Structure 1
Amino acid sequence: MYIPKAFEVNDKTKLVNFIKDNSFGILFSQEESGPLATHLPFLMDEKTGDNGVLVGHMAKQNPHWHKLNGKEVLVVFPGPHAYISASWYNEPNTVPTWNYVAVHVYGTVRIIDKKEEMVERMEKTVHFYESSMPSPWNAKFDDEFIDRLMNGIVVFEISINKMQGKWKLSQNHSVQKATKRY
């Protein structure tokens, strides 16, 4: 990702918190047949490994997972974005732009095939997403119905090699010169 210095965010805590708050990402990989992308929820575990891991899962019927084990991938976490009109700035030589926040995560995939590990990752994922609910759903992974569903997914983790953050929020324009707000 191209990141001019004014828009670069390197603070690991900010990047981790952004991923947790915007955890529906896009997993990209390159295959012989071309690029693949899958939209998935991810669980950020910053305490595992040197740089943390992302935990994810997808349908076993999705062919994207077939060649992912050991492969380097990119996960993009998009955040808020907005069109910015040049008319909002009371200064010459401005053009429209787009403000946005995004984090890119690069890492290596490990397919988790042991049932106990799969259940542990899915329990943590369900807990993360349900914890803010007034009456959180409690998955019973020993239930026959849930067990059948577990057989239809592939659970994986991505060991993070690098994270990049870009907060492009008109930092290159003076606040005093802006005439309108978004």
Structure 2
Amino acid sequence: MYIPKAFEVNDKTKLVNFIRDNSFGILFSQEENGPLATHLPFLMDEKTGDNGVLIGHMAKQNSHWNKLNGKEVLVVFQGPHAYISASWYNDPNTVPTWNYVAVHVYGTVRIIEKKEEMVERMEKTVNFYESSMPNPWNAKFDDEFIDGLMNGIVVFEISINRMEGKWKLSQNHSIERQQNLINGLKTSNKYNSAEIATMMEQNIKQKDNA
């Protein structure tokens, strides 16, 4: 991912928290017949291995998994994004752009074949996503129905080799221009304008407190 220095984020805690908050990612791999991509939920486990792992699963009928074992892949996590109008700068010699936040994760896949390991990974995943529910659903993996569904999925881990974070929030412009863009974003109801405005405000506050 092309990341100008002004937009680069290397803080592991920030990247991990971002993935947890935006955990529906896209798994990309390069195959003999061309690139493949699958949209999947992931569970971030930063305490396993040297750099952490991503836990995922997909339908066994999805042929994407067939040649993934031992392969390096890319997982893209997309956060808020919004169009930036040149009219909001209140300044000449400006053009429109797009502000956004994203994290790219590169790692090596290991297909999990042992049933008890599959259940353990899926139990962790379910518990993570159910934890915010008012009445969390408790999966009974010894139940005949759920056990049957487990036979129809492939569970895997991605050992993380490296992560890249890009917070493109107009940091390459003056604070005055950034504030003008925030004001403009607050007038828009398209895309994730409100979220991007909030992130830009937080970014400015962090600079003021640095």
Superposed pair shares fold, TM > 0.5? yes
Runs of 5+ consecutive residues of structure 1 not aligned to the other structure: none
Are the aligned partners of 1:88 and 1:180 in contact in 2 as well (CA < 8 Å)? no
Alpha-carbon distance in 1 for matches of 2:188, 2:166: 25
The question of whether the paired residues in 1 share the 8 Å contact of 2:43 and 2:54 is answered with yes
1: CA distance, partners of 2:95 / 2:62? 42
* Aligned residue in 2 for 1:102: 102
Please state how far the C-alpha of 1:93 moved relative to its aligned partner.
Answer: 1.0
- What is the rounded CA distance, in whole Å, between the counterparts of 2:188 and 2:24 in structure 1? 34
Runs (4 or more) in structure 1 with deviation over 3 Å come to: 177-182
- 2:201 — aligned with what? none
Residues 178, 38 of structure 1: alpha-carbon distance in 2 compared, 3 angstrom cutoff: closer
Partner of 2:13: 13
Partner of 1:178: 187
The match for 1:62 is 62
Sequence identity of aligned pairs in percent?
91
TM-score norm. by structure 1 comes to: 0.96
Offset at residue 124 of structure 1 (A): 0.2
Which structure shows the bigger proportion of residues in strand conformation? 1
| Conserved 8 A contact 1:89-1:180 | no
Native 8 Å contact 2:59 2:154 kept in 1: yes
Normalized per residue, the structure richer in helix is 2
Summarize deviations over 1:83-104 as a string: whole Å, max 9, x none.
Answer: 0000000111110000000000
Higher relative contact order (CA 8 A, sep 6+): 1
Once the two structures are TM-superposed, the CA of residue 81 in structure 1 deviates from its matched residue by 0.1
Q: Which stretch has the larger CA shift, 165-174 or 60-69?
A: 165-174
Distance 1:90 1:57, change over 3 A: same
Say whether the 8 Å CA contact 2:102–2:166 is kept in structure 1: yes
